[in-house]
Amino acid sequence: MNDTHYSETHIGRRAFIGLMIAGLAALFLGRGLFSGLLKEDPGSTGTTGFRINSVGGTPAFDESTWQLTFDGLFRKPATLSFAEFKALPQVERTRDFLCVEGWGVDSVEWTGVTLSEVMQRFDIDPSATHIIFHSSDSAKYTDSVTIEEAKRDDTVLAHALNGAPLIPDMGSPLRLVLPGTYGYKYVKWVERVEAVALDSGGYKGYWEKLGYPADATI
Amino acid sequence: MKRPEGIKRFVLAERLAHWLYALLFLIVLVSGLLMRIPLTRAWLGAARHGVSVRHGATGFAMIVVPLLLFALLDRGRLRGDIREVDRWSRDDRRWFWAALRGDSLRKREMPPQGRLNAGMKANSILVAAMAVGFAVTGGILLGKTGLPAWLVSRALWLHGFLAICATALFAGHLVHVFGTRHGRGYLQAMIKGGLPEEIARERHVLWWQSMKAEDPPTQRTEDEMP
């Protein structure tokens, strides 16, 4: 090569370093820009900002026949209609939601019944270590929470989102809400709540059998 | 052995690295789209996790495999290519701004160029920077447990943004290769190693002159070396 043509400027490395700095700035700065862009995600469900993910389709919900079962190590097993469930003491909790895929929704208001209320009302056995939630979808999706997680005052079986009843794709009529963990713990279409005593291996839900960690803490 | 057409432009390591990178890019592009489009994401169902892991492994291979190829086949050539991409002459800068103004498309005379013109250098810098960007954001997305939620969210956004940029760059690359006469010459060079002499003379005159000065009667690629 003719060196006279290549002796002037190291533009390549400067441009590369400049792009690296721009990338890091995009990653660590400009939170407002990113949150604004994320809310306009085209795959989201209108104003709620959620993307719809399911592995077994959306099951039908008929309020006149729907039932919720509490069994396993609940010493007062019960089966409730939707009206009976809604008659339990209701709470509202506003928390951020984050999917394991990386997208999130800020300040989601959930309405429902706390798990601590359920555990007290249906008298959970002290030997229980986990509570498993069974979905009515065709994949028989399940996941679990530890008793410690269940006792938190923001772990909720929710039937409403931002003041409106859950839509079918979002888990109608009931969805588990476990703030501080990734969305795969938020079991949709809950129809059965089972208290169990497990060894240290714990319980592997649908995604956990496929490699996700059982502790989905963010 | 049959003589390749044109002037030796790319050695075997460069060509293998290019085509392997292209193949791996297509795999991550398709797997990324499958995971991103709501319809196909739902269709994947439980397989999504496996696709995600393979997507990450392929992305990792996109960085490691070309580097390994150069390390094994022609380490000096990689250093030379990096040096060439790094160093921009005054003509390179003039060529770059003229190209941005559209002078090349209007068939206006462009400043003389070496083996890689300024557009190719800029493309190489972008591809390298995006590879690092994909690796960092992809690493955050794969190892997200325990990382701050805001960091994971932004990594996802940036990963998608980079994917759009990479796809646009790839599409432009294909249009250039298949839509222009010299593009097809470059394709030939990336397959056989040799660039047709008239394209070398028209578009890389400094390099053409230096090659003619080195070996005027015949130009041979490493493929025909004994």
- A34-63 mean pLDDT: 67
How large is the ipTM?
0.79
Class for the domain spanning A45-210: alpha beta
Q: Please give the pLDDT value at position A118.
A: 96
Of the pLDDT bands very low, low, confident and very high (cuts 50, 70, 90), residue A210 is confident
CB spacing of A218 vs B114 below 8 angstroms: no
DSSP track, B107-137: T-------SS-HHHHHHHHHHHHHHHHHHHH
Average pLDDT, chain B: 86
Residues of B in contact with A218 (CB under 8 A): 145, 148-149, 152
Could you list the residue range(s) of the whole structural domain that residue B64 is in?
Answer: 7-224
CB spacing of A12 vs B121 below 8 angstroms: yes
Q: How close A8 comes to chain B (CA, Å)?
A: 6
CB spacing of B151 vs A216 below 8 angstroms: no
The C-alpha atoms of residue B53 and residue B51 are separated, in whole angstroms, by 5
Angstrom CA distances, B10 to A100, A195, B225, stand at: 43, 66, 14
The C-alpha atoms of residue A91 and residue A177 are separated, in whole angstroms, by 12
Of the pLDDT bands very low, low, confident and very high (cuts 50, 70, 90), residue B219 is very low
DSSP track, B154-187: HHHHHHHHHHHHHHHHHHHHHHHHHHSHHHHHHH
Domain count, chain B: 1
Average pLDDT, chain A: 86
Nearest-CB residue to A13 (from B53, B86, B114): B86
CB spacing of A5 vs B89 below 8 angstroms: yes
Closest C-alpha to A44, from A97, A109, A93, A111: A97
CB spacing of A56 vs B45 below 8 angstroms: yes
CB spacing of B155 vs A27 below 8 angstroms: yes
Q: How close B135 comes to chain A (CA, Å)?
A: 12
Model pLDDT for residues B109-168, shown as the tens digit of each residue: 899 999 999 999 999 999 999 999 999 999 988 877 667 777 877 888 889 889 999 999
Nearest-CB residue to B125 (from A12, A96, A104): A12
Q: Chain B residue with minimal CA distance to A58?
A: B42
Q: Please give the pLDDT value at position A30.
A: 55
Q: Please give the pLDDT value at position A130.
A: 96
Task: Specify which residues A192 forms β-bridges with.
Answer: A69, A134
Closest C-alpha to A182, from A135, A206, A215: A215
Task: Specify which residues A51 forms β-bridges with.
Answer: A44
Residue B88 pLDDT exceeds 70: yes
Q: Please give the pLDDT value at position B24.
A: 96
Nearest-CB residue to B153 (from A10, A12, A34): A34
Residue B98 pLDDT exceeds 90: yes
Neighbours of B77 (CB within 10 A): 16
* Burial state string for A32-52 with b = 16 or more CB within 10 A and e = fewer than 16: eebbeebeebeebeeebbbbb
Of the pLDDT bands very low, low, confident and very high (cuts 50, 70, 90), residue B90 is very high
Residue B2 belongs to a domain: no
Q: Please give the pLDDT value at position B188.
A: 92
- B210-220 mean pLDDT: 67
In this prediction, what percent of chain B has a pLDDT beyond 70? 90
The C-alpha atoms of residue A135 and residue A174 are separated, in whole angstroms, by 9
Q: Please give the pLDDT value at position B216.
A: 55
Residue B110 belongs to a domain: yes
Q: Looking at per-residue confidence, does B73 or A51 come out higher?
A: B73
Touching B: A residues 153-192, CB under 8 Å: 182
- A58-68 mean pLDDT: 93
In this prediction, what percent of chain A has a pLDDT beyond 70? 88
Q: Chain A residue with minimal CA distance to B152?
A: A102
CB spacing of B125 vs A96 below 8 angstroms: no
CB spacing of B153 vs A16 below 8 angstroms: no
CB spacing of A23 vs B41 below 8 angstroms: no
Q: How close A50 comes to chain B (CA, Å)?
A: 12
Of the pLDDT bands very low, low, confident and very high (cuts 50, 70, 90), residue B40 is confident
Residue B1 belongs to a domain: no
**Cβ contact B150:A31 at 8 Å:** yes
CATH code for the domain of B190: 1.20.950.20
Model pLDDT for residues A159-186, shown as the tens digit of each residue: 999 999 999 999 999 999 999 888 999 9
**Cβ contact B140:B155 at 8 Å:** yes
Q: Given CB atoms, is A89 within the 8 Å cutoff of chain B? A: no
* Burial state string for B126-164 with b = 16 or more CB within 10 A and e = fewer than 16: bbbbbbebbebbbebbbebeeeebbebbbbbbbbbebbe
Give residue limits of the domains in chain A: 3-38, 45-210
